[in-house]
Amino acid sequence: MAESVVAEAQPVMDQRFEQIMERINPQRLLKVVLPPLLGIIVFLGVWQAAAERIDTSLGQFPGPVQVWEQVENLAGEHVRAREKEAAFYERQEARNAKKLAANPDAEVKWRDYTGKPVFLDQIWTSLVTVAAGFVLANLVAIPLGIVCGLSSGIYKAVNPIIQVFKPVSPLAWLPLVTMVVSATYTSEDPMFDKSFLNSAITVALCCLWPTLINTTVGVAGIDRDLVNASRVMSLSPTLHVRKIVLPASMPMIFTGLRLSLATGWMVLIAAEMLAQNPGLGKFVWDEFQNGSSDSLGRIMVAVLAIGFIGFALDRTMLALQGRFNWDKQAVLR
């Protein structure tokens, strides 16, 4: 039994291997890898050349080399900060243990480490904030989009509002959000920072629209025959949404979600700058205020980080779309 499985598996493995070998044959490799590689090299060259010609009040504009130096600096800072944090907790532990050994009833204090957040912490904060805003927005956008797509009456009622608020910049929302949050969110022991709420809500207000619009279009555009089939079966509204509307409009909903996440990530940086939410936006702002000779290099690191993370987020959405789409043959890009 086991032998036959192996015997069957063997040709499959061989085939796989051949396929992989074929994929990395030198000629194809050249075709696949060379163009992007060339592009990157040319870009770095142009960047370096341009940087040398730009003098700012904070010194020369950083080229690729200086930026790489800052990456190393930031990594070093990260390691040192982590060491400091670990040392802090170790000291605290030792102190408290000693106290307890001397007097088992002694009141010991456990404090959290409150060092300056390092670059990775800031990236994490930004990711959490954008995720919160994104989830908040789409919890509203998807159901509302489905309702708008199903009922042209409701769509006509909501459409003017969508059209007017869609183009509004996050910077215009932020002051309003800030005031509303500080007026309404007055808990003794707040679960969230106000700055976090301000940025998350601002992000939500801006990334609501792509999902809302795409969901509406997707739901309204479902094949009439499928809708008729559902009507003949007399499916209940909830069953109709679950079995027909959602699967049929899944591709459009995901297109919306992808656009929404991209918008959210873009908006977040601006929102954090102004709301002083301790994320990437604040990092950029602080470096700008700091004005040392390294600042521009460090900001450039942040710019690249923002770009790469945005790209990674988009790829993640694409992978999710592939999993949730019923049409496994669909070409996603």
Partner 1 sequence: MNANYLELTGVGIEFDTGGKTPFRALQNVNLKIAEGEFVSLIGHSGCGKSTVLNIIAGLHQATEGGVILEGREVVRPGPDRAVVFQNHSLMPWLTVYDNVALAVDQVFRKSKTRAERREWIEHNLELVNMSHALHKLPAEISGGMKQRVGIARCLAMQPKVVLMDEPFGALDALTRAQLQDSLMQIQADLGNTVVMITHDVDEAVLLSDRIVMMSNGPAATIGEILTIDLPRPRDRLGLAEDPHFVHLRHQVLEFLYARHGTPTAQESAAPVGGPTPVTDVSPVAAPARQESTGSAEGGSEAA
Tokens found for residue 215: 């969901």
Q: In this chain, which of 56, 169, 228, 292 binds partner 1, going by CB under 8 A?
A: 228
**DSSP secondary-structure letter at 243?**
I
CB of 242 to partner 1, least distance (A): 11
What is the C-alpha radius of gyration for the chain, rounded to an integer number of angstroms? 27
- Total residues contacting partner 1 by CB under 8 A comes to 18
Q: In this chain, which of 32, 239, 312, 319 binds partner 1, going by CB under 8 A?
A: 239
Q: Per-residue string for binding with partner 1, 206-225, x by CB under 8 A?
A: -----------------x-x
CB of 258 to partner 1, least distance (A): 20
CB of 27 to partner 1, least distance (A): 35
CA dist., res. 272 & res. 281, Å (int) = 5
Which CB atom, from 106 or from 229, has the smaller least distance to partner 1? Answer: 229
H/E run at residue 30: helix 26-53
Closest CA to 211 of 280, 261, 155, 174: 261
CB of 236 to partner 1, least distance (A): 8
Residues between 242 and 281 that touch partner 1 (CB under 8 A): 243-244, 247-248
CB of 189 to partner 1, least distance (A): 47
Q: 189-198 burial, b for 16+ CB within 10 Å, e for fewer?
A: eeeebbbbbb
CA dist., res. 269 & res. 246, Å (int) = 32
Tokens found for residue 282: 């604040």
Q: Per-residue string for binding with partner 1, 157-186, x by CB under 8 A?
A: ------------------------------
CA dist., res. 202 & res. 137, Å (int) = 10
Which CB atom, from 89 or from 324, has the smaller least distance to partner 1? Answer: 324
Phi, psi (degrees; rounded to nearest 5) at 62: -70, 135
Stretch that binds partner 1, among 22-30, 61-69, 84-92, 228-236 (CB under 8 A): 228-236
Does residue 139 bind partner 1 (CB under 8 A)?
no
Farthest-apart Cα atoms in the chain, separation? 81
Does residue 238 bind partner 1 (CB under 8 A)?
no
CB of 226 to partner 1, least distance (A): 6
Residues between 294 and 333 that touch partner 1 (CB under 8 A): 326-327, 329
Does residue 233 bind partner 1 (CB under 8 A)?
yes
Contact 321, 261 (CB under 8 A): no
Strand partners of residue 55 = 60
Q: In this chain, which of 226, 304, 312, 318 binds partner 1, going by CB under 8 A?
A: 226
Which CB atom, from 2 or from 232, has the smaller least distance to partner 1? Answer: 232
CA dist., res. 239 & res. 215, Å (int) = 18
H/E run at residue 121: helix 119-150
Which CB atom, from 151 or from 325, has the smaller least distance to partner 1? Answer: 325
CA dist., res. 45 & res. 50, Å (int) = 9
Count of CB atoms situated within 10 Å of the CB of 327? 10
Which CB atom, from 177 or from 222, has the smaller least distance to partner 1? Answer: 222
Q: Which residues bind partner 1 (CB under 8 A)?
A: 223, 225-226, 228-229, 231-235, 239, 243-244, 247-248, 326-327, 329
